[in-house]
């Protein structure tokens, strides 16, 4: 893997995603009432320590500015039209711009160290840090609908680094629309949330109904899965390129914002394990193990001849590569 011109070897990928909890984010982002704490629950202690270097680890991590920009673009709709009762709900639209402008001024790579919180008893493993990169995660992340993927890399000097990438959980945001907020394991009504205006409700409803027409129009352009060539409509899924929840009403029903895929490939694409370049080449995430890539038959750089491509789809794919895809597009 090449990052900003430097070569790294992928050594390992952490077994699970780390959901950003309410307790670690800054006060404006909170949906609970606690003052919060900086420590981040990672997993049970054994797998966490095995991945990061043993008990008492002090490990060097990094974020990429390009990833943070991708996250902010992906989470913009949630900042502007929140689905949860954030403490600073009214301030979030302005905070999005302020935070986005701050990120744009950062270095291309932001290093920080995380420390094993050995003082905490029990089986749960936590990390903490006082560094700027960790603080950025706490400042911009919206809780419960954001998560972090971690990858262990080694440079040419055989030094280990841990690449953290922040993502939006689009499925979770969609599930939280008109739902209950879960804070500290307890159900809590979304007090403070303003009711959705009837007009807006109607527009969202129309967009949902438009899925049927969206699928029909998409099938006219993409009558089969470009991977499997299956053309039985009962076995195919109309998969959005720019996720439904991140799209405006026009984008939600735009047939150019989609592909027809078989279920497994829909899942791979939807969860960011594969993406495409504008010249129809497949890009496979390093977060997908080599063994599973081989089992599925995914080859990085493979030319997908049957993949529909035009200027509109190429534009939607820019969003998918920057804000949905798990990994870095090869230089």
pLDDT of residue 174: 76
Instruction: Average the pLDDT over 131-158 and give the result.
Output: 94
**What digits encode the pLDDT tens for the residues 198-248?**
544 544 444 454 467 888 999 999 999 999 999 999 999 999 999 988 898
Say if residue 171's pLDDT is above 90.
no
Backbone CA torsion sign across 116, 118, 123, 127: negative
pTM of this structure: 0.83
For residue 222, with 0-12 CB atoms within 10 Å meaning exposed, 13-18 middle and 19 or more buried, which class applies? buried
pLDDT confidence tier of residue 9, bands split at 50, 70 and 90: very high
pLDDT of residue 36: 63
Q: Where are the domains of the chain?
A: 2-188, 198-323
Of 197, 111, 186, 96, nearest to 141 by C-alpha is: 96
- Distance in angstroms (rounded) separating the CA atoms of residues 108 and 287: 22
- Distance in angstroms (rounded) separating the CA atoms of residues 92 and 29: 8
pLDDT confidence tier of residue 37, bands split at 50, 70 and 90: confident
The percentage of the chain sitting over the pLDDT mark of 90, rounded to a whole number, equals 72
pLDDT confidence tier of residue 305, bands split at 50, 70 and 90: very high
The mean pLDDT value of the chain amounts to 88
Instruction: Average the pLDDT over 39-61 and give the result.
Output: 96
pLDDT confidence tier of residue 38, bands split at 50, 70 and 90: confident
Report in angstroms the alpha-carbon separations of 241 from 167, 238, 323.
16, 10, 11
**What digits encode the pLDDT tens for the residues 61-83?**
999 999 999 999 999 999 999 98
Say if residue 32's pLDDT is above 80.
no
Say if residue 190's pLDDT is above 50.
no
Report in angstroms the alpha-carbon separations of 187 from 141, 184, 196.
21, 9, 21
pLDDT of residue 181: 37
Say if residue 193's pLDDT is above 50.
no
């Amino acid at each position: 893997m090449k990052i900003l011109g430097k070569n790294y070897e992928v050594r390992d990928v952490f077994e699970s995603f780390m959901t950003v909890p309410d307790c670690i984010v800054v006060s404006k982002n909170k949906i609970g009432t606690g003052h919060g704490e900086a420590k981040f629950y990672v997993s049970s202690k054994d797998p966490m320590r095995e991945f990061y270097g043993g008990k008492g680890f002090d490990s060097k991590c990094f974020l990429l500015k390009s990833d943070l920009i991708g996250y902010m673009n992906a989470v913009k709709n949630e900042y502007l039209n929140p689905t949860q009762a954030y403490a600073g709900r009214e301030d979030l639209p302005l905070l999005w711009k302020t935070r986005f402008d701050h990120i744009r001024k950062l270095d291309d790579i932001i290093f920080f160290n995380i420390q094993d919180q050995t003082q905490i008893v029990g089986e749960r493993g936590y990390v903490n840090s006082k560094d700027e990169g960790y603080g950025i995660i706490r400042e911009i992340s919206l809780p419960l609908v954001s998560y972090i993927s971690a990858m262990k890399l080694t440079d040419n000097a055989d030094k280990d680094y841990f690449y953290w990438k922040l993502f939006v959980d689009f499925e979770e945001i969609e599930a939280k629309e008109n739902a209950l907020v879960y804070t500290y394991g307890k159900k809590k009504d979304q007090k403070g949330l303003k009711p959705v205006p009837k007009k807006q409700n109607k527009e969202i409803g129309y967009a949902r109904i438009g899925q049927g027409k969206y699928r029909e129009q998409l099938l006219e352009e993409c009558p089969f899965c470009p991977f499997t060539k299956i053309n039985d409509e009962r076995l195919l899924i109309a998969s959005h390129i720019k996720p439904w929840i991140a799209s405006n009403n026009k984008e939600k029903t735009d047939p150019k914002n989609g592909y027809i895929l078989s279920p497994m490939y829909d899942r791979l694409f939807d969860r960011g394990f594969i993406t495409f370049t504008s010249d129809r080449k497949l890009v496979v995430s390093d977060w997908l193990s080599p063994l599973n890539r081989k089992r599925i038959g995914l080859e990085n750089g493979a030319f997908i001849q049957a993949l529909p491509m035009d200027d509109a789809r190429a534009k939607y794919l820019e969003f998918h590569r920057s804000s949905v895809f798990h990994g870095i597009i090869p230089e």
